[in-house]
Amino acid sequence: MTHWLHRTAIAGLMALTPLAALADETPVKGATIVVTYKDDIATLDPAIGYDWQNWSMIKSLFSRLMEYTPGTADLVPSLAESFEISPDGLTYTFKLRKGVKFSNGREVVASDVKYSIERAVNPKTQGPGAGFFGAISGFDDMSGGKAEGLSGIETPDDQTVIFKLSRPDATFLHVLAINFASVVPKEVVEAEGQDFGKKPVGSGAFVLKDWVIGQKLVFEKNPNFYVADTPKIDGFTVEVGQEPLVALLRLQQGEVDIAGDGIPPAKFLEIKNGPDAADIIVDGEQLQTGYVALNTRVKPLDDVKVRQALNMAVNKERITRIVNGRATPANQPLPPLMPGYDKDYKGYAYDIEKAKALLAEAGYPDGFTTALYASSTDPNPRIAQALQQDFAAIGVKAEIKALANANVIAAGGTEGEAPMIWSGGMAWIADFPDPSNFYGPILGCAGAVQGGWNWSWYCNKDLDARAIAADSMSDPAKKDERAKLWGSVFTDLMADAPWIPVFNERRVVAKSKRMGGPGNIYIDPTRVINYDAIYVKQ
Amino acid sequence: MIELILRRFGGALMILFGVAAITFVLLYALPADPAVQLAGRSATAQTVANIRHELGLDQPLIVQFVHYLGNLVQGDLGRSYTQKTEVMTLILARLPATLILMVSGILVEVAIGLTLGTIAALNRGGAVDRLVMTVSFIGVSAPQFVVALLLLYVFAATLQWFPMAGFGGFSHVVLPALTLGVLGAGWYARMVRSAMIDVLNQDYIRTARAKGVAERTVILRHAVPNALLPIVAMIGIDIGQFMGGVVVVEAVYGWPGIGQLAWQAIQQVDIPIIMGVTLISSLAIVTGNLIADLVAPLIDPRIRAR
- pLDDT tens digits for range B55-109: 888 888 889 889 888 888 888 888 888 888 899 999 999 888 888 998 999 999 9
Gap from B268 CA to chain A (nearest CA, Å): 7
d(CA B69, CA B156): 46
% of residues, chain A, pLDDT over 70: 95
Name the pLDDT band for A13 (thresholds 50, 70, 90). Answer: very low
B-proximal residues of A, 25-54, CB under 8 Å: 38-40, 42-43, 45, 48, 50
Gap from B50 CA to chain A (nearest CA, Å): 5
Helix axes B87-122, B229-243, angle to 10 degrees: 150
> Would you say A451 and B45 are in contact if contact means Cβ atoms under 8 Å apart?
yes
Task: Lowest mean pLDDT of A178-192, A520-534, B259-273, name the range.
Answer: B259-273
* Interacting residues of A478 by C-beta distance below 8 A, sequence separation 6+: none
More confident residue, A237 or B30: A237
Task: Lowest mean pLDDT of A161-170, A351-360, A390-399, A409-418, name the range.
Answer: A409-418
Residue A324 in this model has a pLDDT that exceeds 90: no
Which tens digit of pLDDT belongs to each residue from A241-271? Answer: 888 888 998 998 889 999 988 888 778 888 8
d(CA B222, CA B229): 13
Q: Supply the pLDDT for residue A6.
A: 36
Residues of chain A in contact with residue B37, where contact means CB-CB under 8 angstroms, are 406, 409
CB pairs under 8 A between A and B: 158
Name the pLDDT band for A3 (thresholds 50, 70, 90). Answer: very low
Q: Does residue A376 belong to the interface with chain B, where contact is any CB pair within 8 Å?
A: no
Interface test with A, best of B47, B58, B249, B274 (most A CBs within 10 A): B47
| Residues linked to residue A500 through DSSP beta bridges, in sequence order | A292
Torsion, Cα of B47, B49, B55, B59 (10° steps): 180
Interface test with A, best of B28, B42, B95 (most A CBs within 10 A): B42
Number of C-beta neighbours around residue B251 at 10 A? 23
Backbone torsions φ then ψ of A309, nearest 5 degrees: -60, -45
Cα–Cα–Cα angle for B89, B91, B97, rounded to 5 degrees:
120
Residues of chain B in contact with residue A404, where contact means CB-CB under 8 angstroms, are 32, 266-267
Name the pLDDT band for A5 (thresholds 50, 70, 90). Answer: very low
Q: Supply the pLDDT for residue B81.
A: 86
Residue A14 in this model has a pLDDT that exceeds 60: no
Gap from B176 CA to chain A (nearest CA, Å): 14
Name the pLDDT band for A22 (thresholds 50, 70, 90). Answer: low
Number of C-beta neighbours around residue B146 at 10 A? 11
Residue B233 in this model has a pLDDT that exceeds 50: yes
Query: Of the candidates A203, A234, A279, which has an alpha carbon nearest to the alpha carbon of residue A29?
Result: A234
d(CA A318, CA A502): 10
Backbone torsions φ then ψ of A77, nearest 5 degrees: -65, 145
> Would you say A102 and A185 are in contact if contact means Cβ atoms under 8 Å apart?
yes
Which tens digit of pLDDT belongs to each residue from B126-137? Answer: 888 898 888 888
C-beta atoms of B31 and A411 within 8 A: yes
Q: Supply the pLDDT for residue B124.
A: 86
Beta pairing, strands A369-375 & A420-422 = parallel
Name the pLDDT band for A15 (thresholds 50, 70, 90). Answer: very low
Q: Supply the pLDDT for residue A16.
A: 38
Mean pLDDT of B254-271: 86
| Residues linked to residue B199 through DSSP beta bridges, in sequence order | none
Residues of chain A in contact with residue B252, where contact means CB-CB under 8 angstroms, are 243, 246
C-beta atoms of B84 and A241 within 8 A: no
Q: Supply the pLDDT for residue A191.
A: 96
Mean pLDDT of A416-421: 95
Mean pLDDT of A466-472: 91
% of residues, chain B, pLDDT over 90: 7
Q: Rounded to a whole number, what is the distance in angstroms from the first to the last CA of chain A?
A: 47
B-proximal residues of A, 250-309, CB under 8 Å: 250, 253, 255
C-beta atoms of A239 and B166 within 8 A: yes
Cα–Cα–Cα angle for A368, A370, A371, rounded to 5 degrees:
160
Q: For residue A413, give the chain B residue with the closest CA.
A: B36
Secondary element (H or E) of residue B163: none
d(CA B239, CA B282): 11
User: How far, in Å, are A436, A446, A448, A469, A492 from residue A462 at the CA level?
Assistant: 15, 13, 15, 11, 11
% of residues, chain A, pLDDT over 90: 66
Which tens digit of pLDDT belongs to each residue from A503-522? Answer: 998 888 899 999 999 988 99
Task: Write the single-letter amino acid at A36.
Answer: T
d(CA A213, CA B89): 9
Q: Does residue A450 belong to the interface with chain B, where contact is any CB pair within 8 Å?
A: yes
SS3 A219: strand
Assembly ipTM: 0.81
- Provide the mean pLDDT of chain A: 90
